[in-house]
């Protein structure tokens, strides 16, 4: 250990030695936070990234980034290719698989749907994409005696009804209507798929801000005219945003530019 000229007490260790245990401003460990930032720099479409690109995206100094990447590589979270670029390793995939296995839609999504039903008085549902169709995987019935019923597990079209349109829009579907949905962060429809049924929907995102599906409320069109659907849109998007942040965590470079008009950024 280094000592002062007088030899009375040791000099403080260099920054590289203390980085692993120094707390950051949030109360966490700086080195762990930075290592996670490097992992989060990989987008859904990134098969590999150079060290320069990783440092640019994470804002971490090149020397520090390289040291952290080599540490992550020891545990299989990243792999360095022969050309020097980096890709995610099998350990990262294992974590993702464990997350998916532990994801319980009943414990995560249904409380949000219940809140929507209580706030709007209408039925609420959560849809996911399965190939070229959408499927309802969670639903809470509204308290009204006359209400819209969507069967769990039914295969429904993506291009008819607001839940499917929202899924298409935030999956990158081209077209003016989908660009408008992406700008607004929601979509409503009246009688588009089912005569006399009105819906309003918003997108829900999960790990790495990848689209999970859409959440909607639905009911008779006579009870949900256009002005009421637009008024409820804020409630739907607030619930979808809260669920997205609960599932995806804080914003990252992969967070969509527009999640909703009331997005906190």
Q: Could you read off the pLDDT of 192-237 as tens digits, one per residue?
A: 988 899 999 999 988 777 888 999 999 999 999 999 999 999 999 9
What average pLDDT does this structure show over 51-79? 94
| Domain 15-92, CATH class in plain words | mainly alpha
pLDDT tens digit string along 130-156? 888 999 888 899 888 766 656 667 788
Average confidence score pLDDT of the chain: 82
pLDDT tens digit string along 165-201? 999 999 999 999 999 999 999 999 999 988 899 999 9
Q: Give me the residue spans of the domains in the chain.
A: 15-92, 101-248
Written as one string, the DSSP assignment of the chain is: --B-TT-SSBPPPPHHHHTTT-B-TTSSBHHHHHHHHHHHT--TT-S-B-HHHHHHHH---HHHHHHHHHHHHHTTSEEE-TTS-EEE-HHHHHHHHHHHHH--HHHHHHHHHHHHHHHHSSEEEEEEEETTEEEEEEEE--SSSS-----TT-EEESSSSHHHHHHHHTTT--SHHHHHHHHHS-EEEESSSSTTEEEEEEEEE-GGG-EEEEEEEEEETTTS-HHHHHHHHHHHHHHHHHHHHHHH-S--TTS-S-S-TT---
- pTM, two decimals, is 0.60
Architecture of domain 101-248: 2-Layer Sandwich (3.30)
Q: What is the pLDDT of residue 110?
A: 87
* pLDDT of 92 above 90: no
């Amino acid at each position: 250990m280094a000592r002062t000229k007088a030899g009375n007490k040791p000099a403080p260790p260099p920054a590289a030695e203390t980085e692993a245990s120094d707390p950051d401003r949030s109360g966490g460990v700086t080195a762990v936070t930075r290592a996670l930032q490097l992992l989060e720099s990989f987008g859904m479409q990134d098969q590999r990234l150079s060290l320069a690109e990783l440092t640019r995206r994470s804002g971490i100094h090149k020397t520090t980034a390289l040291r952290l990447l080599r540490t992550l590589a020891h545990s299989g979270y990243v792999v360095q290719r022969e050309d020097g670029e980096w890709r995610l390793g099998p350990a990262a995939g294992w974590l993702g698989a464990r997350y998916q296995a532990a994801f319980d839609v009943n414990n995560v999504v249904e409380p949000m749907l219940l809140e929507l039903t209580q706030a709007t008085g209408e039925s609420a549902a959560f849809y996911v994409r399965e190939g070229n169709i959408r499927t309802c995987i969670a639903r809470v019935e509204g308290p009204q005696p006359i209400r819209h019923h969507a069967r769990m597990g039914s295969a429904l079209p993506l291009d008819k009804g607001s839940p499917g349109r929202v899924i298409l829009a935030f999956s990158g579907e081209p077209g003016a209507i989908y660009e408008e949905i992406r700008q607004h962060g929601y979509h409503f429809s009246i009688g588009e798929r089912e005569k006399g049924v009105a819906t309003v929907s918003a997108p829900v995102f999960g790990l790495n801000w990848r689209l999970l599906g859409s959440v909607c409320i639905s009911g008779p069109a006579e009870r949900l005219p256009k002005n009421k659907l637009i008024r409820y849109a804020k409630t739907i998007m607030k619930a979808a945003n809260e669920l997205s942040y609960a599932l995806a965590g804080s914003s990252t470079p992969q967070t969509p530019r527009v999640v909703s008009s009331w997005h906190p950024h």
